[in-house]
Amino acid sequence: DVGQVDPYNANVFSAADWQLNLETSSIIEEPASVTMRMQGGEERFISSNTVLVSELKAVMSDSSIDVRSSDPSATDRVTRAITSLAPPAQVMLKVIVDEMDTRDLGTPKLDHEIISALLDPRYKGEEFGLFDEEGYTEARVVLQEKYDEFAAALRAHEEKEAQVTQLEAQLQNASELVERARAELTTGLPAASAPLAQAPAAEPEPASEPKQKKQKSMVEMRREKRLQEKKAARAEAAPAAAAPRARDEIKEYFDLDDELEDDNFSLLGWWKRMATDRPADNWFAWKVLSQLARVYHGIDATSCVAERNFSQLAIKLGPLERDGDPDHVADTLFLKANSQLIPDVQAWNLMRRFLSERGIEAGSTPADIAAACKEFILKHGPTSSSAGE
């Protein structure tokens, strides 16, 4: 209540003080919620974090803001113009916006930020507002350059793998030749050592050897294997020697108008699906672009997740578990850090979000909970399009 005495400092809050408190706490609430989402691991990708900060910047730069009501029991907020706020609140808001502008927060500047934003199908369009017209063109150029570099590296890697495979085949052929020569010497020694005293009698023996070699056709077999290896190497090198598909893949990606569900959308899962050939759907994978996307989306936007994993390790290795099996500890921490990959946990998290969106809480009536669960089963059950997620 206005005029209530604060027992900690025995000062009396005036009405203006309480109003300033409401305004400043309302201003801080939005950045705090975004920070919690980023640090809590809900938004681990650079692209989604960039969009969050960009939207926060737009909200903080607006001409009005929603302020908490002075009535503690009221849940609705009051929309106030920025100019109507108390001067300290206006200064606070200006400092936050100026700091975001100085640091270019919410605007992709570095190459990994640009590529991560463009390779997120939810925010790839120019109309989303992450880039202006000139910046969007420059971002496409950066993506094209990185794609060409990545495609060249992949081709070089494939050529090295082909060379290694060819060398392994040659070593295998050489070992087979050594084994056969050793077998021939082993079987030929008794017959050749017996007639050493009579040189003329030993002449018929070598005459039969060439026939056996011709029947085995070792040279011909080796030549055939070499021809097969050359054909295989030529077939593997043919796609690399052909005209690169760089511009085709990028153009197909930006031309793709895929309706993406915000609920339970998996960015890495989407790119994994795009990396798989589906002839039935007349779809052929983006071999290079999908790998490039997974490389950049594999970068965590913050170090909070890694720090949290170290904290879990400290909690796991208590005083009574210092001599635990390292493999067991590693497996336990892996399951703890990647529990969202377990199908049962995925279904449970999806249901929790579904119930939360519909206002279902612990104090809800059994009828409301049952109705919401039934709706969830109808939407995400085995017969729905999201079966198995």
Provide the strand spans (E) within the chain.
64-67, 78-81
How many helical (H) and strand (E) elements, i.e. helices and strands, does the chain have? 14, 2
Angle at the Cα of 294 (from 293 to 296), degrees rounded to 5? 65
What does the DSSP assignment read for 212-266?
HHHHHTHHHHHHHHHHHHHHHHHHHHHHHHSPP-HHHHHHHHHH------STT--
Three-class HEC string of 4-46: CECCCCCCECCHHHHHHHHHHHHHHHHHHHHHHHHHCCCCCEH
Q: What is the pLDDT of residue 98?
A: 92
Measured from the Cβ of residue 370, the count of other Cβ atoms closer than 10 Å reads: 11
Q: What is the pLDDT of residue 94?
A: 92
Cα separation, 372 vs 355, whole angstroms: 7
Task: Please check whether residue 155 is in contact with residue 242, taking contact to mean a CB–CB distance below 8 angstroms.
Answer: no
Q: What is the pLDDT of residue 211?
A: 47
Task: Please check whether residue 47 is in contact with residue 265, taking contact to mean a CB–CB distance below 8 angstroms.
Answer: no
Low-confidence ranges of the chain (pLDDT < 70): 1-12, 41-42, 188-227, 229-231, 233-247, 259-264, 321-322, 381-389
Cα separation, 351 vs 221, whole angstroms: 63
Task: Please check whether residue 14 is in contact with residue 82, taking contact to mean a CB–CB distance below 8 angstroms.
Answer: no
Q: What is the pLDDT of residue 91?
A: 92
Task: Please check whether residue 45 is in contact with residue 113, taking contact to mean a CB–CB distance below 8 angstroms.
Answer: no
Q: What is the pLDDT of residue 195?
A: 43
Cα separation, 7 vs 303, whole angstroms: 40
Task: Please check whether residue 139 is in contact with residue 108, taking contact to mean a CB–CB distance below 8 angstroms.
Answer: yes
Half-sphere exposure of 161 (CA within 13 A, CB side): 9
Q: Which residues contact 351 (CB under 8 A, 6 or more apart)?
A: 373, 376, 380
Cα separation, 301 vs 305, whole angstroms: 9
Task: Please check whether residue 66 is in contact with residue 77, taking contact to mean a CB–CB distance below 8 angstroms.
Answer: yes
374-387 pLDDT per residue, tens: 888 888 765 444 43
Q: What is the pLDDT of residue 222?
A: 60
For 267, the enclosing helix (H) or strand (E) is helix 267-274
Q: Which residues contact 237 (CB under 8 A, 6 or more apart)?
A: 159, 162
Q: What is the pLDDT of residue 275?
A: 87
Cα separation, 143 vs 117, whole angstroms: 10
249-277 pLDDT per residue, tens: 888 888 887 766 565 678 888 898 888 88
Q: What is the pLDDT of residue 234?
A: 58
